[in-house]
């Protein structure tokens, strides 16, 4: 679980590791909800979970699953 203010790296869609050359993101909110995912994704029927809003490259990305994030100090 991440805290507001934590710096995180986004994991690539292949699940093998961080997105190459991507800068870190900052957690700006944590709440219970449904992750914002692509249609047809294996998680499309997922249940309510802890999700995060992150500030990434000057934009807010909403409802990001914690499964797609790694805390910077663990990279």
Report the 3 state secondary structure along the chain.
CCCCCCEEEEECCCCCCECCCCCCEEEEEEEEECCCCCCCCCCCCCCCEEEEEEEECCEEEEEEEHHHEEEHHHC
At 20-48, the pLDDT tens digits run: 899 999 999 999 998 887 655 655 556 78
Computed over every residue of the chain, the mean pLDDT equals 87
- pLDDT tier for residue 71 given thresholds of 50, 70 and 90: very high
> Is the pLDDT higher at 12 or at 40?
12
**What integer pLDDT is reported at residue 42 of this predicted model?**
58
Report the predicted TM-score, pTM, of the whole model to 2 decimal places.
0.81
């Amino acid at each position: 679980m991440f805290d507001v203010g934590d710096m995180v790296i986004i994991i690539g869609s292949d699940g093998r590791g961080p997105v190459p050359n991507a800068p870190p993101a900052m957690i700006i909110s944590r709440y219970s909800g449904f992750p914002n995912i692509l249609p047809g994704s294996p998680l499309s029927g997922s249940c309510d979970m802890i999700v995060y809003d992150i500030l990434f490259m000057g934009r807010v990305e909403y409802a990001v699953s914690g499964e797609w994030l790694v805390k910077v100090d663990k990279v």
